Amino acid sequence: METYLVKKERALEKEPVFKRVNISKVHIIDNNTIDLNGKIFNAEFDFITQLADEIGISPASIYQLGRNLNATEVNLILNKSFNNYFKRNPPILGNVIGDREKANLFRFSKSEIITYKTIFEALDNIYKNYSDTEFNISRGDISLLLKEDKAIDIKGLPEETFIPNIGMRYIYGEAFGLTKVMNRLSCTNQIRMNVFNRNNKKLSTINSSMTILKSLKQLNDNRFNLKYADKVAKVKKANASLHEYESVIRMVKKYMGRNKSALDTLFRKNEVELALSTNNKLNEETDKRRISTPLNYWEMVNGVTDFASHNYVMLKYDERELLQTKAFELLERTPDLLRFSNN
C-alpha cells in the first residue's frame, strides 16, 4: 500500500502551473490553440469559454452559436468580440492555469491560487492520526480522504455503525472545501457533510496552511458525530413521501443512462409503484407530500449513497461527491410525513 508521503510526492509532481498576467490580446487560432498577448499556447476549449465569459459571452451563448455555426465561424465571432472589448476596456488580470504534463491551458481564474505546498503543510501535521489517506487527482484537482480507524455506533441502531472520515476537495484556483465523510460499515456507503467551503471569491481568506489546519482539527469535534447520529435516528421514524421518492428517482436517473434496472435494487421501484397503483385514484387527489410510499426515508437516502459509492455506472469523482453531498442534504431536512404529521 502506498504511503501518504508517496502519494504526496506524486501529487506535487502533477501540480498545475500558473501565471498571473494582464491579458490585453486574445486571438483564437482554433479550438485547441490560442494567442495571448502575442504568444501561442495550446488551450482546451473550456479555457477559451472562461475567457469569453470575462467579456460577457456566456458558455450557454457559445453553445447556442455552435448549434448553428461551424467552429471557424464561432471563433470568428469570438475574435471580433475580444478585439472590440480590448479597444474599450483595460486588460483582464487573472491566472492562466496549465496542465504540467500535457502543456496546455485548461482554466482561467481571477482568484488567489492555493498551492499544493500550503495544503500539504497542513496535512503533514495530522496525517499520522489517520489509518490511511486516499488521493484522487484529475488534471490537478485533488479529492482526498483521511480515513479514521474508529467505528461509532448509533444508540439503539446496531446496524448503523459508521466511521467519521474527513474529506478535502480542491478545484485548482476555483474552490476549496472540507467535508465530514460518514462511512456506513454495513454497506460501505459514504455520505458527505459540507463543513468548510470557499469559492473563487473567498480563496484569498485561506492565506496560510494554519487556516486549513485549524479547520481540519475542528472536524474532529465529536459534535459532528452526535449531530449525524441524531439525524439518522430521526429520519428512520418515517417513510418517504411520494414527492420525495419521485424527486430522488429523477435526480439519480440523470446519471444512469438507458439502463434503469438499478432503480429497483436501490429504491425498490417495482414494489413502490405496485403499492401506489392500488390507490391510484386517491393518490391523484392528494398532495404528494402526504402520500406514504413503502420505502423508509433512511432507506431512500441510503439508495442515493449506495449509487454514489458503488459502480452501478461509471460515475466521475465529482459526480460521486455531489450525490453524496445531496444525500446529506436529504438527511438534514425533516421528512414530509413527519412535518405534516406535526401540523
* Burial call 312-330: b when 16+ CB within 10 Å, e when fewer: beebeeeebbebbbbbbeb
- Total Cβ atoms within 10 A of residue 301: 26
CA distance 262 to 313: 9
Decide: residue 87, CB within 10 A, 0-12 exposed, 13-18 middle, 19+ buried. Answer: exposed
Task: Report, as an integer, the average pLDDT of 325-334.
Answer: 93
Task: Report, as an integer, the average pLDDT of 32-44.
Answer: 95
User: Over the stretch 74-127, which tens digit does the pLDDT of each residue have?
Assistant: 999 999 999 999 999 999 999 999 998 888 999 999 988 999 999 999 999 999
3-state helix, strand, coil split of the chain in percent (to 5) is 45, 30, 25
Which of 25-29, 119-123, 207-211 has the weakest average pLDDT? 207-211
- How much is the pTM? 0.79
Q: Nearest CA to 167 among 209, 216, 203?
A: 216
- Specify whether the CB–CB gap between 195 and 219 falls below 8 A: yes
User: Over the stretch 248-296, which tens digit does the pLDDT of each residue have?
Assistant: 999 999 998 877 888 999 999 988 888 888 766 666 667 889 999 999 9
Sign, CA torsion 45/135/163/316:
positive
- Specify whether the CB–CB gap between 166 and 177 falls below 8 A: no
CA distance 127 to 136: 16
Measured in degrees and rounded to the nearest 5, phi and psi for residue 210 equal -65, -35
Q: Which residues contact 52 (CB under 8 A, 6 or more apart)?
A: 58, 59, 62, 78, 81, 82
Name the DSSP letter for residue 258. Answer: T
CA distance 238 to 221: 29
Answer yes or no: is pLDDT of 343 > 60: no
Res 283: pLDDT: 64
CA distance 59 to 51: 10
Res 188: pLDDT: 80
pLDDT-above-70 percentage for the chain: 97
- Specify whether the CB–CB gap between 169 and 145 falls below 8 A: no
Taken as a whole, the chain contains a residue count of 343
Measured in degrees and rounded to the nearest 5, phi and psi for residue 335 equal -55, 145
